[in-house]
Amino acid sequence: MLDKTTAAVILLIVFSAVLVQCEENATDSFLPLKKAGHCISEKCQLPNCRCSGLRLPSADFKEHVKEIPQLITVTFDDAVNVINYEQYQQVFDGLVNPDNCSVRGTFFVSHEYTDYTLVNALYQQGHEIALHSVTHGSGTDYWREADVQVLMAEFGQQIDMLVKFAKVNRKHIRGVRLPFLQISGNNTYEAAKRLGLLYDSSWPSQRNPPMWPYTLDYRSTQDCQIGPCPNAAIPGFWVSPMVTWFDTVGYSCAMIDGCIFPPKDEVDTLFEWMVDNFKRHYDGNRAPFGMYLHAAWFQRGRHYFEAFRKFLLYVNTLPDVYLTTASGVIHYMKHPTLGKPFPGCPKKPNTTCIKRNCGLRKMETGETRYMNVCDTCPSVYPWLGNALGETEHY
């Protein structure tokens, strides 16, 4: 048996080694951040570097714009619950891409009020599960001023929650969207890169023709709508610009539900408006077309859902239109091709989730929260600082 002092010394050594290891990682390639320089396309090559801009995925594509597959992403933000889950099922019901692979959406999930068993169900259906923070914050100031530590906690701990409670494979969690689309300059991108993520989808762009996704190796030429925007080099990290829509009086909107003057609440009028926005991409440079919204938008007008479905059914008849995930778009950007965008169909994950309904005390407020998770209930309501809801934290 070791005596207590020896044991303590050994522990201390092990502990210091861990600390050194952590510090080593913290001081790796991107601390201090380097200011991003002008992008030279000869130096910035696919698959891991792409200059920002309005140009096509590859110079050889110029004469073949009509052969560039038109990618569409449908993304929903915030908590997944039993009500919006049913709508999500209806949104994607029966849609199949021209390559016979199933149509997939992207869910930027925030923690509070999320039913993790339904996140697991969406995941198993092949949809992408991405990050939208643990707390969602109390307003834009919180996110504008967030430093790298706060951002790593908000998104890193949310990864832990999705892995534990929804049984999402950690390596399938690739992207982030900031609440209120409020980025905080370099910090957002530094945190996301350090967490091993691949892309951000928070940064609106009103540029016309629309922007393609690009990496932050070099200075971004994207318009900065909600600053501060980054100006450091974050190598290999992708920005998927949220190309804005235009409402009926010409105001731009990064998210469909942010459009102030949508058309009259009639199926055909709404449908035509969506087609107009889509045509700027489809008849233009074929940059990916984003349909970014919250399920609550469907409740805003009697015909909103029907119009949305009508639009999806319409684009789904076009032979060169593919409804894919946000990370599917990045995958394409890394390996752009004319014609068929993807080599095969992505494999659907197969996990087992035994549903548990857990009544849990939320320590911060003393309320009881009910939360559905896979397999095992946590001890208390999980929150920032105690992502797995363990008792020992208190």
Ligand X SMILES: *[C@@H]1O[C@H](CO)[C@@H](O)[C@H](O)[C@H]1NC(C)=O
Chain residues that interact with ligand X, rule: CB under 6 A:
21-22, 25, 32-35, 99-100, 185-186, 228, 231-232, 350
- Nearest to Zn ion of 77, 217 (CB atom): 77
Q: Which does 100 bind (CB under 5 to 8 A by kind): ligand X, Zn ion, none?
A: ligand X
Stretch near Zn ion under the rule CB under 5 A, chosen from 24-32, 94-102, 147-155, 175-183:
175-183
Q: What is the pattern of x (binds Zn ion, CB under 5 A) and - over residues 22-61?
A: ----------------------------------------
Please state the closest distance from residue 297 (CB atom) to Zn ion, in A.
12
- DSSP, residue by residue, 97-132: -TTSPBP--EEEE-STT--HHHHHHHHHTT-EEEE-
Contacts of 333 (CB under 8 A, 6+ apart): 46, 50, 57, 212, 213, 238
Instruction: Report which secondary-structure segment, H or E, holds 140.
Output: helix 140-144
Please state the closest distance from residue 198 (CB atom) to ligand X, in A.
17
For residues 248 and 82, the answer to whether their CB atoms sit within 8 Å is no
CA distance 326 to 198: 10
For residues 356 and 375, the answer to whether their CB atoms sit within 8 Å is yes
Q: Which does 25 bind (CB under 5 to 8 A by kind): Zn ion, ligand X, none?
A: ligand X
Please state the closest distance from residue 236 (CB atom) to ligand X, in A.
15
Instruction: Find, among 56, 52, 57, 54, the residue nearest to 233 by Cα.
Output: 52
CA 239 distance to own-chain centroid: 10
CA torsion through residues 159, 160, 161, 162, sign: positive
Please state the closest distance from residue 259 (CB atom) to ligand X, in A.
30
Instruction: Find, among 241, 204, 233, the residue nearest to 333 by Cα.
Output: 241
Contacts of 48 (CB under 8 A, 6+ apart): 215, 235, 236, 334
Please state the closest distance from residue 110 (CB atom) to Zn ion, in A.
6
Please state the closest distance from residue 180 (CB atom) to Zn ion, in A.
7
Please state the closest distance from residue 371 (CB atom) to Zn ion, in A.
19
Among 49, 68, 77, 79, binds Zn ion (CB under 5 A): 77
Q: Which does 388 bind (CB under 5 to 8 A by kind): Zn ion, ligand X, none?
A: none
CA distance 144 to 84: 29
Among 179, 204, 213, 288, binds Zn ion (CB under 5 A): 179
CA distance 114 to 283: 38
Please state the closest distance from residue 365 (CB atom) to Zn ion, in A.
20
Residue recorded with tokens 């001081």: 27
CA distance 225 to 181: 10
- Nearest to Zn ion of 57, 179 (CB atom): 179
- Nearest to ligand X of 147, 364 (CB atom): 147
For residues 80 and 119, the answer to whether their CB atoms sit within 8 Å is yes
- Nearest to Zn ion of 203, 322 (CB atom): 203
- Nearest to ligand X of 5, 100 (CB atom): 100
Residue nearest to Zn ion (CB): 77
Q: Which does 264 bind (CB under 5 to 8 A by kind): Zn ion, ligand X, none?
A: none
CA distance 195 to 30: 13
Q: Is 200 a binder of Zn ion (CB under 5 A)?
A: no
- Nearest to ligand X of 53, 185 (CB atom): 185
Among 36, 78, 120, 270, binds Zn ion (CB under 5 A): 78
Torsion angles phi and psi, residue 170, rounded to 5:
-50, -40
- Nearest to ligand X of 133, 186 (CB atom): 186
- Nearest to Zn ion of 78, 217 (CB atom): 78
Please state the closest distance from residue 26 (CB atom) to ligand X, in A.
8
